[in-house]
Structure 1
């Protein structure tokens, strides 16, 4: 594949990002699948199988049975698993950024190289992830607090704060690609992301909203089918636990792959639109 030509584009294009995202996935499916399988799908599969197996062991008791049998242990294990999955997801996203830029530059992504780049970016990636996470969590807590103290008006004020936090998180959506490609630290990458996304945030919001809606439809469809199967069987059987674990892991892995590649493509698109930077110039950082 020939390298994408350099040159300044008129404006950020959702259609171009969508097209390039699925083109990258199609061309480098094997490499992306290996990265996602190692860092996302396998950990999710292990956790989901454990989770469905635990639920199945309570039989018809369901949630009530869960409360009666080692609820504290279940909660602690789930929190640890969520933390591990969160960290591995950031590593996967960093590796996918490298793979995406390599693909757009006409090269076949090398899995070992992508993982090396992700590991080098580990600490600032974690920092950015924690900052974004706490921004949303704190905003959600403030919204709930205001809503409980001042009925209706408090919810409106809290909602405004939450929306402001969400917009801020959107503005730093390409901070991780900045870490990977430009080797900047946490706060430098956040500032750089805000500068790149300025003027294009509504378009980026539309892009992520579209991906989120597609993912939600797929997730709801799977949940309905699995829920109906469980209901008709009178509970989760051992086979049902396997099907549920594999299905849930597959759905989450597909979404995380599309979302991560889309973020990387968005970063490249923003650099081309705002600075006229070619993909070749981005790749030279690692030469």
Structure 2
């Protein structure tokens, strides 16, 4: 954790502007973002439901670790959720840049982009999440710092097609800006926790009056919004870091998709 403090003359990351623009892009493209996130999240929720039980997957039931198979099922569920988030980010990166450049947002056209990077993003997302979790075991701060190091990995893999070099590329881009990224992540995490609490509360109510299927649909939609918020922010932070460090503009970054 030897990240140096930014010199006063160094360009600022612009946390406030990034958060504001994240909200703006999400608001302007809410239906497209919801569609992408909802489909992937619903698939993940259904598979998780079969593995660990739908009440647990929805957050309204207590997990059961009484046997070895249960532990494996929970681990698979964890891997699945991380992989789905990585693939979702690959698609929403395209949404963010097209929106920023005032281009039409076309979710179906982003599938090929996600499929092309699905394997490296999925594996690296799992690796970075495990590393962050290990850091959290010792102290919260190291875990958050690790998250800051690898924050833009999904965008780097999607845009630059660096494959399994995504962690190294993210580490290079985030150097000297990790603490501002961590601070922003904490603010976004608070928003995500609020969304999760709402989703859990709604799930309990809907299961009681509308059944499990309706609850799956509602919770998947709410979680999709929360996850998409992080995905959009990741794309914007990546673009800002490349602008600061390499003088690359957003239209130059997005040109790889033309």
TM-score band, normalised by the shorter chain? Answer: 0.7 to 0.9
Q: Which runs of 5+ in 1 are unaligned?
A: 1-8, 56-61, 144-157, 231-235
Q: Which runs of 5+ in 2 are unaligned?
A: 1-9
Contact 1:31–1:111 under 8 Å retained in 2: yes
Matched residue, 1:129: 125
Contact 1:53–1:238 under 8 Å retained in 2: no
Query: Please, which of 80, 83, 93 is the counterpart of residue 97 of structure 1?
Result: 93
- Cα distance in 2 between the residues matched to 1:22 and 1:237: 33
Matched residue, 1:155: none
- Cα distance in 2 between the residues matched to 1:272 and 1:104: 14
Matched residue, 1:256: 227
Q: 1:52 to 1:175 in 2, by over 3 A?
A: closer
Contact 1:171–1:198 under 8 Å retained in 2: yes
Structure 1 position 283 matched with structure 2 position 247: no
Query: Please, which of 159, 169, 190 is the counterpart of residue 213 of structure 1?
Result: 190
Contact 2:151–2:170 under 8 Å retained in 1: yes
Q: Which has the higher contact order (CA 8 A, sep 6+)?
A: 1
Contact 2:152–2:237 under 8 Å retained in 1: yes
- Cα distance in 2 between the residues matched to 1:214 and 1:43: 22
Alignment coverage as a number of residue pairs: 245
Contact 1:28–1:108 under 8 Å retained in 2: no
Contact 2:173–2:242 under 8 Å retained in 1: yes
For residues 107-186 of structure 1, what are the structure 2 equivalents within 5 Å?
A: 107-140=103-136, 143=137, 158-159=138-139, 163-186=141-164
Deviation per residue, 1:68-116 (Å, 9 max, x gap):
9xx6666555544443333222111111112211221221132233111
- Cα distance in 2 between the residues matched to 1:115 and 1:276: 29
TM-score norm. by structure 1 comes to 0.72
